[in-house]
Structure 1
Amino acid sequence: MPEEVARLATIPGLRTAAQLKRPDPEIPTAAGSLPVTPALSELLPGGALRRGSTVSVVGSTALILALLTEATQQGSWAAITGMPDLGIVAAAELGVDLDRFALVPDPGAELVAVVSALIDGFDLVVLGPVAAQGVQPQLARQLAGRVRNRGAVLLTTGAWPGVDLELRVSNRKWSGLAVDGFGHLESRDVVVSARGRGAAARPRTAALQLPASGGAAAVGRPRARTGLTEAAG
């Protein structure tokens, strides 16, 4: 094992996740897929995240976290690297099980070693903008091949070369403010479009609340109150 990968094994969570990667008969997860919250299932072929696939998410950190929620709650492990500003509280509010979640804020100069170790030990690996910037197509193909071999799912923020599925968020609008501008932000309505290759070739679109008033993702619905539209983010 390369020295830098050996150092990664000392990070709390990484070693444990690798040991627990073996299937657990008590966890009702299909062998070839990882579950997502019902509000997101219509966006994905088969209603789940296919193991061995790469998924890019454009325009929403909240959607990235929402994709981890159901899987971590049902016993899968997730890790995020390259997102130093990620709010752990926000992850918890969206339903991510923090007992099965690891955060490596910045992979530093050893990007390939860090991401490879995470793919080997975790079911879901998120590659944030700090880690993904400057990734060339050849490296993207190498990582995708490792993901297929290990049966993991790689989620990236922003565009990714040769991605299997792209989820793009638009039309963001916060609800909860009255006409006079007073009140509390309660939920955010968004539109998520999905397109990809193979089984994901047919475009899909869904209106969601992300987050909903309870914190997690929910199917979108008309709102009576005046909303606050976001330009981006």
Structure 2
Amino acid sequence: MLAALRTLVPGGALRRGGVLAVGDRVRPCGDAPSYLALALAAGASAGGAWCGVVGLPAFGIAAASGMGADLGRFLMLDEPGERWAEAVGVLAGAVDLVLVRPPRRPGGEQVRRIGARLRRTARQRGAVLVVAGDWPGADLRLRLTETAWSGLGDGTGHLAGRRVTIAADGRGAAGRERTALLWLPAADGAVREWVAETDAPMLPADGGDQRFGVSAQIRDGGEVVQLWSA
């Protein structure tokens, strides 16, 4: 895993046979995974793991690369349709981590079959399933509870980084809730810890006021209208 995410997972590493359900309030594209799901796959591939990606045609290759992903270790099936569960099962026997966005909430039989393919046995090494969305009985759930973009001033500048608070909870050893404050992503695309006391916010290029959120100006019939979204 990426170092900044290790405090969220018991033992600091993803466990073969486990299922992680990932939520993110910011989804710029309906077929794209969240930055958090990307970060989990990026960290695994950077550590030498092979990753399969199912049902995510807008995967975000540039973003994953900025997080340190080894793109040569990804197998991608963009649009499996109704055979997505079968595709996950096949990949689980060949790679170390599978990232999937199911088209709908999986049924009980699909959950059982995929769970059996994930577990380590004498004949298979096991894999980790990362779900972009909800999954019944997930071992661990990661979700964003607070987000704030930096870089924009009062109608100037550009998005430079996003501060997030991530909460984790789950079953068994993962039952105790844990939180992490991160840049996800930072200005250079990486994922790193955010320390409120020492980590200065990024400023607009013109040195304007320090404000977090999204600000812009548009012209409506010749009149300038100021927009602000925290």
TM-score bin (small chain)? 0.7 to 0.9
1:59-99 Cα deviation digits (max 9, x unpaired): 16111111122321221101111112222112212221101
Contact 1:163-1:196 at 8 Å conserved across structures? yes
> What is the match of residue 192 of structure 2?
218
> What is the match of residue 12 of structure 2?
47
> What is the match of residue 18 of structure 1?
none
> What is the match of residue 182 of structure 2?
208
| Rg larger for | 2
> What is the match of residue 213 of structure 2?
228
Length-normalised TM-score, structure 2: 0.79
2:57 corresponds to 1:84: yes
- Report SS of the residue matched to 1:151: coil
2:71 corresponds to 1:106: no
Partners of 1:97 and 1:84 lie apart in 2 by 18
Length-normalised TM-score, structure 1: 0.78
Partners of 2:99 and 2:36 lie apart in 1 by 12
Q: Considering fraction of residues, name the structure with more helix.
A: 1
Q: Among residues 104, 118, 129, which one is paired with 1:147 in the alignment?
A: 118
Q: Among residues 139, 153, 158, which one is paired with 2:133 in the alignment?
A: 158
Contact 2:105-2:134 at 8 Å conserved across structures? no
- For the structure 1 residues 167 and 77, does the alpha-carbon distance in structure 2 shift closer, same or farther, using more than 3 Å as the test? same
- For the structure 1 residues 112 and 158, does the alpha-carbon distance in structure 2 shift closer, same or farther, using more than 3 Å as the test? closer
- Structure 1 letter corresponding to 2:40: L
Q: Among residues 120, 123, 128, which one is paired with 2:93 in the alignment?
A: 120
- Report SS of the residue matched to 2:106: coil
1:132-182 Cα deviation digits (max 9, x unpaired): x1411231122112111342000001110010000011211101112x221
- Structure 1 letter corresponding to 2:152: L
2:186 corresponds to 1:186: no
- Structure 2 letter corresponding to 1:45: P
- Report SS of the residue matched to 1:161: coil
1:166-200 Cα deviation digits (max 9, x unpaired): 0011211101112x221121110011000011110
Q: Which runs of 5+ in 2 are unaligned?
A: 27-33, 202-209, 215-227
Partners of 1:231 and 1:39 lie apart in 2 by 27
Q: Which runs of 5+ in 1 are unaligned?
A: 1-35
> What is the match of residue 15 of structure 1?
none
Partners of 1:144 and 1:135 lie apart in 2 by 12
- Structure 2 letter corresponding to 1:218: R
- Report SS of the residue matched to 2:8: coil
How far 1:110 moved relative to its partner? 2.0
Partners of 1:177 and 1:189 lie apart in 2 by 13
> What is the match of residue 70 of structure 1?
43
Partners of 1:116 and 1:37 lie apart in 2 by 26
Same amino acid, percent of matched pairs: 42
- Report SS of the residue matched to 1:80: strand
Corresponding pairs, count = 194
Partners of 2:156 and 2:65 lie apart in 1 by 27
Partners of 1:177 and 1:37 lie apart in 2 by 27
RMSD: 1.9
Partners of 1:134 and 1:47 lie apart in 2 by 28
1:98-136 Cα deviation digits (max 9, x unpaired): 010122111123223211111111100011143xx1411
> What is the match of residue 57 of structure 1?
22
